[in-house]
């Protein structure tokens, strides 16, 4: 079973070497690493030249954004299982081995995913993020409960998905996972409690909350997938319903304190627990 890992890159000289090393140091060595760099100007090319002989393909040329880079990369993939690692994130040791074993022992599983850590600029763990069993409707109405950097999927899944939408610059991962859920079944997703990846938090990262551009992209995705009611009164009620599901899963995975902290914030959670335990 061969893994194809696609790494889109643009001006990530500070972190890309650690991302590459996290792939090369995997104990499971049947993989190809394809790096697609959008003509970086910060010296990233020096790092890519250093590791070029370890990669199946290094493509350096201007692109139309991350979605375009991903499309270029996945079009070159020849493996049986695909993964996408951004050039500032990392895989945890043993991630490929664990995924390969899961796919080998569960022939009906199409997508394998697990927990991930938020990490800082020096690779220190900020917090652990707990994934929970996949639900397409939950992903649609309430949001992420898995991370594309801590996820692997079979080649036919990606072929059914097709291509990333070039109109999406911030939420292409959200649409990809939504499409996986729509095209496959929830039962074809398998979750592990193990941490598979590190998602880096830093000042220059592109993904930082729900601003106007992100909301606009979500509305575009909803219309494209014929679920515009997501932003209606009914959609808001469904959001609350799946928010409750998230709370229940957080309690199950990490306890009441963690669940309250994630749902209502640290200060409010502390006040609640003080009263609750009195």
Tens of pLDDT along 150-197? 999 999 999 999 999 999 999 999 999 999 999 999 999 999 999 999
Other CB atoms within 10 A of residue 123 CB: 13
pLDDT band at residue 206 using 50, 70 and 90 as cut-offs: low
Average per-residue pLDDT for the chain: 94
Measured CA to CA, the distance from residue 278 to residue 109 in angstroms comes to 46
Instruction: Give alpha helix (H) positions in 95-187.
Output: 95-105, 136-141, 155-161, 172-183
pTM score, whole prediction = 0.94
Q: What are the residue boundaries of the structural domains of the chain, listed by start?
A: 3-227, 232-278
Measured CA to CA, the distance from residue 164 to residue 180 in angstroms comes to 12
Determine the angle formed by the axes of helices 233-254 and 256-264, rounding to 10 degrees.
Answer: 150
Q: What is the pLDDT of residues 225-263, one digit of tens each?
A: 999 999 999 999 999 999 999 999 999 999 999 999 888
pLDDT band at residue 277 using 50, 70 and 90 as cut-offs: low
pLDDT at 210: 73
Other CB atoms within 10 A of residue 226 CB: 7
pLDDT at 244: 96
CA 41 centroid distance within chain: 26
Measured CA to CA, the distance from residue 143 to residue 148 in angstroms comes to 13
**Is 3-227 in CATH node 1.10.10.10?**
no
pLDDT at 91: 99
Measured CA to CA, the distance from residue 56 to residue 196 in angstroms comes to 23
Of 125, 98, 111, which is closest to residue 157 (Cα–Cα)? Answer: 111
pLDDT at 207: 58
More confident residue, 84 or 275: 84
Q: Are the C-beta atoms of 197 and 149 separated by less than 8 Å?
A: yes
pLDDT at 211: 87
Of 121, 109, 115, 73, which is closest to residue 95 (Cα–Cα)? Answer: 115
Other CB atoms within 10 A of residue 15 CB: 22
SS (H, E, C) 27-47: CCCCEEEEEEECCCCCCHHHH
Q: Are the C-beta atoms of 33 and 77 separated by less than 8 Å?
A: no
Cα–Cα distances (Å) from 63 to 86, 173, 213, 249, in that order, read 16, 18, 20, 40
pLDDT at 275: 53
pLDDT band at residue 274 using 50, 70 and 90 as cut-offs: low
Q: Are the C-beta atoms of 115 and 109 separated by less than 8 Å?
A: no
Measured CA to CA, the distance from residue 46 to residue 23 in angstroms comes to 18
Tell me: pLDDT of 209 over 70: no
Tell me: pLDDT of 269 over 60: no
In percent, how much of the chain has pLDDT > 70? 94
pLDDT at 265: 76
Q: Are the C-beta atoms of 136 and 184 separated by less than 8 Å?
A: no
């Amino acid at each position: 079973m061969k893994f194809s890992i696609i790494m889109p890159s643009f001006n990530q000289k500070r972190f890309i070497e650690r991302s590459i090393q996290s792939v090369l140091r995997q104990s499971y060595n049947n993989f190809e690493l394809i790096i697609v760099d959008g003509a970086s100007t910060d010296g990233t090319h020096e790092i890519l030249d250093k590791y070029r002989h370890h990669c199946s393909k290094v493509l350096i040329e201007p692109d139309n954004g991350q979605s375009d880079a991903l499309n270029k990369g996945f079009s070159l993939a020849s493996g049986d299982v695909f993964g996408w690692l951004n050039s500032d994130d990392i895989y945890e040791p043993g991630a490929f081995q664990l995924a390969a074993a899961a796919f080998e022992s569960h022939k009906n599983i199409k997508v394998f995913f697990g927990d991930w850590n938020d990490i800082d600029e020096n690779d220190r763990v900020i917090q652990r993020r707990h994934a929970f069993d996949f639900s397409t409707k939950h992903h649609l109405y309430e949001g992420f409960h898995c991370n594309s950097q801590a996820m692997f999927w079979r080649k036919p899944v990606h072929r059914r998905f097709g291509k990333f939408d070039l109109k999406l610059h911030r939420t292409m991962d959200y649409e990809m996972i939504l499409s996986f859920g729509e095209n496959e079944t929830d039962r074809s997703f398998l979750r592990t409690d193990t941490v598979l990846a590190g998602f880096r938090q830093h000042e220059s990262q592109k993904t930082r909350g729900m601003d106007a551009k992100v909301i606009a992209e979500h509305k575009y995705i909803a219309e494209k997938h014929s679920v515009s009611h997501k932003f209606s009164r009914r959609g808001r009620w469904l959001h609350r319903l799946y928010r409750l599901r998230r709370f229940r899963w957080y309690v199950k995975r990490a306890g009441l304190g963690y669940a309250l902290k994630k749902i209502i914030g640290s200060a409010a959670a502390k006040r609640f627990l003080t009263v609750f335990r009195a």
